[in-house]
Amino acid sequence: MKKIALTLACSLLTVAAYAGDAAAGKARSAVCVACHTESGISVVPIYPNLAGQKEAYLVSSMKAYKSQERKGGNAAIMWAIAGALSDEDINNLAAYYASLPAGGN
């Protein structure tokens, strides 16, 4: 029982660490829509879909671009974009795109 309680507590801490404001993320999403569209479903095959992704994944991906740890493909484009975002912006954008339906509907 103690293990279950500890696991749940740790899970809640992880969720809280990424709790962004989806409405603020939507307001800041203009920086993303040129490549990822307003729906978060890209029409260009080399650009990933953002809609419906897990919030923690989006946060870690954008932070990896911001620190230039993530390389390859079009990483240099994302280095510049993510580099201009605050951690709060990143959390909010992640919350927004995670809240969208994965199919874009």
CA distance linking residue 71 with residue 102, whole number of Å: 25
In the chain, what are the domain boundaries?
2-99
Q: Can you tell me the distance from the alpha carbon of 91 to that of 62, in angstroms, rounded to the nearest whole number?
A: 9
pLDDT in tens, 32-72: 999 999 999 999 999 999 999 999 999 999 999 999 999 99
Range 2-99 classified under CATH 1.10.760.10: yes
Predicted TM-score (pTM) of the model is 0.81
Going by pLDDT thresholds of 50, 70 and 90, the confidence category of residue 103 is confident
Contacts 24+ apart (CB under 8 A), 41-45: 41/103, 41/104
pLDDT over 90 at 6, yes or no: no
For residue 15, pLDDT over 50 is answered with no
